[in-house]
Amino acid sequence: MVERQLRQHKVEIDTDEDKVMIELPETKDVQKEAGLYQSRCRFCDAPLSHTFVDLGMSPLCESYLSAEQLNQMEPFYPLHVYVCDRCYLVQLEQYVSAEDIFTEYAYFSSYADTWLQHASCYTDLMVERFGLNEESHVVEVASNDGYLLQYFVEKNIPVLGVEPAANVAKVAIEKGVPTRIEFFGVHSAQQMAEEGLYADLIAGNNVLAQVPDLNDFVAGMKILLKPQGVITIEFPHLMCLVEENQFDTIYHEHFSYFSFITAEKIFAAHGLTLFDVEELPTHGGSLRIYARHQKDDSMPVGERVIELRQRELDAGLTSMDYYAAFDEQVKETKRKLLDFLIEARRAGKVVVGYGAPGKGNTLLNYCGIRTDFLDFTVDRNPYKQGKFLPGTHIPIFEPGRITEKEPDYVLILPWNFKDEIMEQMKHIRDWGGKFVVPIPEPGVY
Ligand SMILES: [Zn+2]
């Protein structure tokens, strides 16, 4: 009886052509009070009972510690990832509020040169393909410090950014990129629509994974999109994560991990059709999807959509066996890495780390690698130097420390930049030093 009452939460999403019913999960607190709490799918609300991978307990991966904090309590949260057996959305429960994670965000996109280049190329591509001009309106959700919209501003194309982190939004505004400081969703989209701020292009890069209320977010984009408008969204591709064994890219800040097929299902539920897709090398393999209103047939569904959908079907992304195999694959990687480290340390070798990225923290905490295995790590970012890695408390120094110490092995934590790092640090060969790369398979170079 109580359950029936609890399950009656539905929301009607009014698309142009028909009404789409989405069941909304009750709040966790209400369910817990009724003794009915169970994790449910962020998209389709089915109960979650299938583990994709369980990485144990981990601290938030960007919570670097100062020396004074080492003796204090440190919050750890589960990194237990589930897969929904109805829609195949791979997902992590939200343990920390989005406000806590994102309102004072330390990551400024404009500090990464390659990312700026990516943004500039994207702008040229969109302007040319969709004929954007002074009459158009471009909206970016999670617009960060204006790293992307600044290129549209240069071309005199009106823009609007939406960004919840006030400190980074402020930087964007100072650069001349109008930005609203808020979380994007149905509520903010309706307000913008009332002001006539409909969009010809809505861009969202690496935000979809971080949205706690996925349906509210996609429904918001539907509301804001002009009848002939286009949405482009970039996110890490789940198939790459599995094939390349990139389990260390799982963080508490990333709630959802998408295949193309699941993304297509989610957008379709909100009256949006994916008509094109590109595969990008960013973040270990990402997708850029292109969406439009279902009834806008001016842009037919392209070859690349049909080809990728088929490739995912052939790979088994709509079969639970595909997901069930991942957990064991990850455990085996942990055993291999620990085998190597135990043997090296027993033989009296010195092993240190290179880099202090978020992914390194997932890997080290999951594997239980502390200063018993890695004496220290180094990072070029001055903000991290002098601090300690969350959970494992490995000290972070500046890169020169490696030259002083002359270690036998350097474990590269940001493996996505391994070629660049091996080139920069090639002088370790002078004293016989070697590189170790943990992902996809632990290997010595
Ligand atoms: Zn689901």
- If you measure from the C-alpha of residue 255 to the centroid of ligand 1, how many angstroms do you get, rounded to a whole number? 13
- pTM > 0.75: yes
For the record, the structure tokens of 175 come out as: 């650069």
* Residues at Cβ < 5 Å from ligand 1 ion: 41, 43-44, 46, 84, 86-87, 89
- If you measure from the C-alpha of residue 249 to the centroid of ligand 1, how many angstroms do you get, rounded to a whole number? 21
Q: Are strands 199-205 and 434-437 parallel, antiparallel or unpaired?
A: unpaired
The answer for residues whose C-beta is within 8 angstroms of residue 103's C-beta and 6 or more apart is 164, 165, 166
Amino acid 186: pLDDT: 97
d(CA 360, CA 61): 8
Q: Measuring CA to CA, which residue among 200, 214, 213, 205 is closest to residue 236?
A: 205
d(CA 228, CA 3): 42
Amino acid 108: pLDDT: 59
- If you measure from the C-alpha of residue 257 to the centroid of ligand 1, how many angstroms do you get, rounded to a whole number? 12
Q: How many residues does the chain have?
A: 445
- If you measure from the C-alpha of residue 85 to the centroid of ligand 1, how many angstroms do you get, rounded to a whole number? 7
Q: Output the CA angle 141-147-150, nearest 5 degrees.
A: 95
d(CA 356, CA 62): 9
- If you measure from the C-alpha of residue 307 to the centroid of ligand 1, how many angstroms do you get, rounded to a whole number? 24
- If you measure from the C-alpha of residue 400 to the centroid of ligand 1, how many angstroms do you get, rounded to a whole number? 48
- If you measure from the C-alpha of residue 164 to the centroid of ligand 1, how many angstroms do you get, rounded to a whole number? 27
Q: Measuring CA to CA, which residue among 142, 61, 146 is closest to residue 103?
A: 142
d(CA 263, CA 278): 14
Cis peptide before 440 (omega within 30 of 0): yes
- If you measure from the C-alpha of residue 42 to the centroid of ligand 1, how many angstroms do you get, rounded to a whole number? 7
Q: Measuring CA to CA, which residue among 361, 365, 367 is closest to residue 342?
A: 367
Compute CA 88 distance to the chain's CA centroid, rounded to the nearest angstrom.
17
Measured CA distances, 135 to 131, 138, 246 (Å): 10, 10, 42
- If you measure from the C-alpha of residue 242 to the centroid of ligand 1, how many angstroms do you get, rounded to a whole number? 19
Q: Decide if 11 contacts 22 (C-beta within 8 A).
A: yes
Amino acid 176: pLDDT: 96
Amino acid 104: pLDDT: 53
- H/E stretch holding 247 reads none
d(CA 90, CA 112): 28
pLDDT in tens, the chain (445 residues): 333 333 444 445 454 555 555 555 555 566 556 666 789 999 999 999 999 999 999 999 888 999 999 999 999 999 999 999 999 999 998 887 766 666 555 555 666 677 889 999 999 999 999 999 999 999 999 999 999 999 999 999 999 999 998 888 999 999 999 999 999 999 999 999 999 999 999 999 989 999 999 999 999 999 999 999 999 999 999 999 999 999 999 999 899 999 999 999 999 999 999 999 999 998 889 999 999 999 999 999 999 999 999 999 999 999 999 999 999 999 999 999 999 999 999 999 999 999 999 999 999 999 999 999 999 999 988 889 999 999 999 999 999 999 999 999 999 999 988 998 999 999 999 999 999 999 999 999 9
d(CA 139, CA 196): 13
For 186-195, write each residue's pLDDT tens digit.
Answer: 999 999 999 9
Amino acid 32: pLDDT: 59
Amino acid 62: pLDDT: 84
Q: Decide if 427 contacts 399 (C-beta within 8 A).
A: no
- If you measure from the C-alpha of residue 209 to the centroid of ligand 1, how many angstroms do you get, rounded to a whole number? 15
